Structure 1
Amino acid sequence: MAANRTIVEIHILQTMPPSNLNRDDTGSPKKAVYGGVTRARVSSQAWKRPTRLKFRELVDPNQLGIRTKRVVEVLADRILR
């Protein structure tokens, strides 16, 4: 019997108070023009990691996907079982 699975992808645009949430590779605060004004920008990585960590707390581990660069090895292992 196939398991029922729900896939949720979240895209967020959110105004943040003045802060330095993360920096680029040169150590400068990330920024973007929004509403005609240069503002601090939060990278997608800065949102995704805490989201993944919260999912680990709230969702049954058997219902979570596997995040890996070694997807071929993981699939091969499952197929050969």
Structure 2
Amino acid sequence: MEFITSKELRVYAGKILEKVRAGERFAITHRGKPVAWLIPFENDTPEEFSPLPYHEAWADIERALEASEPYYPEWHEALKESRRQK
């Protein structure tokens, strides 16, 4: 496994993805610390790692939103908070 920086991933994304398709694995670092793995999908990838079709994924998102309570009661309060300077 090769270590690459997040900057290297941005700059050389195409070349790195070619290597991943060929079976290589990478550990991605940010500010010197590993944060993610970049590994190829296998033909026998478990179903939970397989991407869903758009309509199924969107239905899952809508179900999760319906089951959750909003942090802000009104959209304009959320917008006001997002624009607050820190």
TM-score (norm 1): 0.24
| Structure (1/2) with the larger helix percentage | 2
Greater RCO (Cα-Cα under 8 Å, separation 6 or more): 2
Higher Cα Rg, which structure: 2
